[in-house]
Chain A
Amino acid sequence: MKTQVTFTQKIWYVTILLVAIFAFNPAYGQSTSQTRTIKGTVSDLKGPLEGANVVLKGENQGTVTNAKGEFTFPVALKTGDVLVISFLGYEMIEYKIRENTNFVKAVLSDEVVEFMGAVNSNKRYKSKRKN
């Protein structure tokens, strides 16, 4: 006996197919509702740091802290993004945005560098002579 596929059944097949496609689409898995604006502060042991760089790793998107060491990241971030926080003379740190991260509090530590310097010279050597 030949089975008749009704119009309603066709609709059901298509619906199931569409659901399957969307459910397994990896892009759909990262829900847009999770991106949010991240604020934060950057300081060292003595207090807030003005002019520290906050950059989204691998992108040319970032900001600089104000006089109170505060920043608001210019684009919305999602879980798993990494912020690179750096300032001349301090150890650079990477801060990973977690599911519950809304505020970043970064404390940078001094980079310990012993400074030396030998000045270059193209001056021709001349022996010191007794006479």
Chain B
Amino acid sequence: MRIFIQHIFLFIFVFQATAQLSDFTHISFEKADEIALEYKDETLHNLPDLVYKLTSQLDTDVERFRAIFKWVCSSIANDYNLYKRNKRNRYRYRNDSVKLNAWNTKFQKIVFKQLLRNRSTICTGYAYLVKELANLADIECEMIHGYGRTSTINLKKLDSPNHSWNAVKLNGKWYLCDPTWASGNPNPETYHFEFDFNDGFFLAEPKIFAVNHHPIDKKWFLIEGNTPSFQDFMQAPIIYNKAYSYFSDHNYPQKMHNAIKRNDPLNFTLQLQKEVDTEDVNLIIENSFRERKVHPKQVSIQDKSLSIDYKFEYSGFYDVHLYIKDDLISTYTVEVTR
């Protein structure tokens, strides 16, 4: 009997320890996505009914959560004006906690009204909805608050939390999702929101996620061992949406701004999630006068690790962009001296 119990324990623990993100690769989300799109025009007036419509035909929690996530990302628009209004007031009242609290209370009412009326919101609204809908489907889900970095966020002024996302527990393990960034982007010129679902932000790889997401509470990195410090995060290179489709981690250069001597190699190392042909790896190197596309001579892919060594022949100040095919992955600046 004792041996039997020991085996049961062993079985349970070994199973948990080997649980991977890739556990879900055998599940197709086609049906969940179809359902989400079928009910795309539903309103938020009856959340329990919406959850029933989205989840009742699906068998697993991961599919049910997928239907909810996909629905939120395809039905809720990002409201740029709402974002700007909040940002302005939060900045204005940053040193006056009474006024800031009053604004938060007022703004909360505005946000919920906008959600019901126009189905548009800002990050926390996305994260809130995903959490509420998942909880109604009996799936454990939390809102995570922290810092987010993109190419258009003023990198020097990021002094208070500016972003929210989700953690979800599936089969006993926590995963990360960013519904706001998965839903699409504002048009760079008009700021009009354009839906463009990005799968990379659904059950994202925690290491690449940590490059531009920094939770206030460290445990939500979901990384064992060392986690990036706030300084590491602020100095990290900029990664773009497509980085999440190709890579699971970004190792080198660790910083956005780099200084190097002429003809010394600068190393780029990233961990791949899927097969990439070395032919498709390109750099675009930009200085004040021109930009040129370079196919680096030294590119290697070994055990899913992509490594590039590039030597700058002339001194100067460059913006260096990494591309896979036509997909923008990351940006660095490099100062090359003699």
A18 at the binding interface (Cβ < 8 Å): no
Once A115-B124, A116-B124, A117-B163 are accepted as A-B contacts, the answer to whether A125 and B153 lie under 8 Å apart by CB is no
Q: Contact at B135–A113, with CB atoms within 8 Å?
A: no
- Binary interface encoding of chain B residues 82-101 relative to chain A, with 1 for a CB under 8 A from any of its CBs, else 0: 11001100100000000000
- Binary interface encoding of chain B residues 36-60 relative to chain A, with 1 for a CB under 8 A from any of its CBs, else 0: 0000000011111100100010000
Chain B contacts of A121 at CB under 8 A?
150-153, 185-186, 188
Q: Residue among A122, A126, A127 with the most chain B CB within 10 A?
A: A122
Q: Contact at A120–B319, with CB atoms within 8 Å?
A: no
- Among the 9-residue stretches B9-17, B105-113, B260-268, B304-312, the one with 4 or more Cβ atoms under 8 Å from chain A is B105-113
Nearest-Cβ distance from residue A115 to partner chain B, whole angstroms: 4
Chain B contacts of A131 at CB under 8 A?
288
A114 at the binding interface (Cβ < 8 Å): yes
A84 to B151, CA, bound (A): 43
Closest to A63 in B: B46
Chain A contacts of B174 at CB under 8 A?
none
Q: Contact at A118–B153, with CB atoms within 8 Å?
A: yes
Return the contact of B124 from the options A92, A113, A123, A126 (Cβ within 8 A): A113
- Among the 9-residue stretches B62-70, B115-123, B220-228, the one with 4 or more Cβ atoms under 8 Å from chain A is B115-123
Q: Contact at A92–B123, with CB atoms within 8 Å?
A: no
A89 to B44, CA, bound (A): 11
Q: Contact at A122–B328, with CB atoms within 8 Å?
A: yes
Chain A contacts of B136 at CB under 8 A?
84, 86, 92
Return the contact of A84 from the options B48, B90, B164 (Cβ within 8 A): B48
Chain B contacts of A88 at CB under 8 A?
44, 47, 112, 115-116, 132
Closest to A54 in B: B48
Q: Residue among B48, B115, B153 with the most chain A CB within 10 A?
A: B48
Q: Contact at A120–B48, with CB atoms within 8 Å?
A: no
In B151-165, which residues have CB < 8 Å from any A CB?
A: 151-153, 161-164
- Binary interface encoding of chain A residues 82-108 relative to chain B, with 1 for a CB under 8 A from any of its CBs, else 0: 001010110010000000000000000
Q: Contact at A118–B163, with CB atoms within 8 Å?
A: yes
Once A88-B112, A92-B135, A125-B238 are accepted as A-B contacts, the answer to whether A115 and B125 lie under 8 Å apart by CB is yes
Return the contact of A118 from the options B125, B180, B185, B321 (Cβ within 8 A): B180
A2 at the binding interface (Cβ < 8 Å): no
Chain A contacts of B288 at CB under 8 A?
129, 131
Nearest-Cβ distance from residue A12 to partner chain B, whole angstroms: 48
Chain A contacts of B241 at CB under 8 A?
120, 122
Count A-B pairs with CB separation below 8 Å.
129
Closest to B328 in A: A124
Q: Contact at A127–B47, with CB atoms within 8 Å?
A: no
B148 at the binding interface (Cβ < 8 Å): yes
Nearest-Cβ distance from residue B248 to partner chain A, whole angstroms: 20
Return the contact of B321 from the options A62, A64, A124 (Cβ within 8 A): A124
Q: Contact at B186–A119, with CB atoms within 8 Å?
A: yes
Chain A contacts of B29 at CB under 8 A?
none
A12 to B308, CA, bound (A): 93
Once A60-B52, A122-B328, A131-B288 are accepted as A-B contacts, the answer to whether A115 and B151 lie under 8 Å apart by CB is no
Q: Contact at A119–B152, with CB atoms within 8 Å?
A: yes
A86 to B56, CA, bound (A): 19
A55 at the binding interface (Cβ < 8 Å): yes
Q: Contact at A113–B108, with CB atoms within 8 Å?
A: yes
Q: Contact at A123–B188, with CB atoms within 8 Å?
A: yes
B166 at the binding interface (Cβ < 8 Å): no
Once A118-B153, A127-B333, A129-B288 are accepted as A-B contacts, the answer to whether A86 and B48 lie under 8 Å apart by CB is yes
Chain B contacts of A123 at CB under 8 A?
151-152, 188
Can you add 19 more A-B contacts, CB < 8 Å, to A84-B48, A118-B148, A119-B150? A53-B49, A62-B48, A88-B132, A113-B128, A113-B143, A114-B104, A115-B122, A116-B86, A116-B90, A116-B123, A116-B145, A117-B123, A117-B124, A117-B125, A120-B150, A121-B151, A122-B188, A123-B188, A125-B319
28 contacts between A and B (CB under 8 A): A53-B48, A60-B48, A62-B49, A86-B47, A86-B132, A88-B132, A89-B108, A89-B109, A115-B104, A115-B122, A116-B86, A116-B90, A116-B122, A116-B123, A116-B124, A117-B78, A117-B87, A117-B125, A118-B149, A118-B163, A120-B184, A120-B185, A121-B152, A121-B188, A125-B319, A126-B286, A127-B317, A131-B288
